[in-house]
Amino acid sequence: MFRRSITGLATICGALLHVACGSQSTENDAVIGGSTLDSLIVTRYEVDDSLFPNPERGFYRYADLPGLSADIGAIREQEGITLVWGRISMAAYRQDELLPNDFLARVEQGFQTARDQGMKVIVRGTYGFEGPGGDYTSYTDPPIHNIRRHVTQLGPIFTANADVIALFEAGFIGPWGEFHTTAIATDPEQSRDFVHFLLEQTPEERMIALRYPLLKQRIFASGGGFETVTDANAYSGEPVARVGHHNDCFLSSANDVGTYDRGGMDRAGETAYLTGETALTVFGGESCAAYELNDCEPARTELHALHATYLNSQWHPDVLEKWESQGCLDYVRRRLGARFALHESQFPVRARAGGRLRVALDLENYGFASLYNSRNVEIVLQHAATGRSWSLATGLDPRAWKPGERYLMEIELPLPRELESGTYTAYLHLADPATSLRDDGRYAYRLASLGVWNEKTGWNRLAQGILIEAAPEGKTRPDGSV
């Protein structure tokens, strides 16, 4: 499907000009958006089908967050994994009103280690999973006032480290933090109150994934039904828009081992609900047993439908081995989360400092999902002789680039008057919005297009040989004239 996108400072004008395949060419007297330019630099790109890492998506590695080892960096380099599923286990402090300072310091250090090693964290707090009977069925929660105090202590650490937090899984309640079995987990009012409390204690720009569809439906019950995420409230910071979903028995039985069929809605009804929700929130998890539904063909269908972003790289091994033997493991690796491929770009051969730069991009999302966290979209111009670079914000929100869709975008950007004259190379920088990470190439998003990626800078090369002329004396009008 093709879509035209209008977001922020970017405007869509006339149809894109298509040329014969080739790395870079020049077209004379081309027209973009009604303005005749002397010539255009038109670049076509081949899709890159290789496996490569991108932040905030893909298979994750399980670890205890307090005292996270720097060895996680080697896993990133060797396996292309950029996510840590970071457990905060507080089993030793179930009966304590406050977590000790040395434990909090280890949690803080875990986040710093993730930052140092180019990783992001999926955060889940737990108090264990075994009860007096030796299994999860006899598990009980710590006193709720202790849990709340612990979360309140962790809240400032979460805020200070939001840059390296990908998302939260609700956690804290029930065995493994999965919101089942216990008195709190099975009481709709207590569950609702706790999730809203958790939303208050975590950064507004981060989502919280819940274990069961029914849990979100109950938390956001309204007028005999329930609230859902829509295009109108998506990414707004409203509670319903911040709550996504995870499934820790993905495709592992007829009802995913109790994930579905919990509130009178069958599997088909609940997956239809999730299909709408996960188009605008985050979804991930793990499998817990081999089953016919997690054969490659139905698994691919479900991963697409539920917009899967992350999965456990180690669990369940029987399912992962099945995907390897049936030939879909690399397919899943490529498509978890968003995967953007640029098909074509157009830049003017000449532009003037203080004027406007008109850019055309033809981009497609081959992933299962869209982005769930915000990300800057910038055109970077780098001077060929001096190496000095200028970043131009487009105002585009890449979370709007949905899976299976192709976008034809024409962007008009103001050029600074102080831009020095000379020849420039243009890049697309899908930067992390956090100040601490925006210039770290490990946290930038790589395009699935051959020959464009600069690992050091995190920039994707678009066009070379753009001549920028110096701004003339006097005041420059918006169209570039004096």
As a whole number of angstroms, the distance between CA 112 and CA 323 comes to 34
As a whole number of angstroms, the distance between CA 420 and CA 23 comes to 27
Q: What are phi and psi of 285, to 5 degrees?
A: 150, -140
Q: Give pLDDT, residue 364.
A: 98
Whether pTM > 0.85 for this model: the answer is yes
Residues 40-92: tens digit of each pLDDT = 999 999 999 999 999 999 999 999 999 899 999 999 999 999 999 999 999 99
Q: Give pLDDT, residue 476.
A: 52
Q: Please return the burial class of 306, using the count of CB atoms within 10 Å of its CB with bins 0-12, 13-18 and 19+.
A: buried
Q: Cis peptide before 180, with omega less than 30 degrees from 0?
A: no
Strands 165-169 and 120-126: parallel
Q: What are phi and psi of 389, to 5 degrees?
A: -125, 155
Please report, for residues 68, 322, 436, 440, 442, the alpha-carbon distance to residue 116 in angstroms, rounded to integers and kept in the order given.
11, 34, 11, 11, 10
As a whole number of angstroms, the distance between CA 345 and CA 348 comes to 10
Residues near 282 by beta carbon (within 8 Å), at least 6 away in sequence: 167, 207, 209, 244, 245, 309, 310, 369, 372
Residue 41: how many other CB atoms lie within 10 Å: 19
Stretches where the chain sits below pLDDT 70 are 1-38, 474-482
For residue 94, which of 158, 55, 149 has the smallest C-alpha distance?
149
Please report, for residues 18, 151, 239, the alpha-carbon distance to residue 197 in angstroms, rounded to integers and kept in the order given.
52, 9, 11
Read off the amino acid at residue 54.
N
Number of helices followed by number of strands (H, E) in the chain: 11, 24
Q: Give pLDDT, residue 475.
A: 58
> Where do we find the tokens 């917009």?
307
As a whole number of angstroms, the distance between CA 415 and CA 83 comes to 37
Strand partners, 39: 28
Residues 185-235: tens digit of each pLDDT = 999 999 999 999 999 999 999 999 999 999 999 999 988 889 999 999 999
Strand partners, 167: 122
Set out the domains of the chain in order of their start, with CATH numbers. Answer: 2-50+339-469 (2.60.40.770), 58-335 (3.20.20)
N-terminal to C-terminal alpha carbon distance within the chain: 42
H or E stretch at 333: helix 329-335
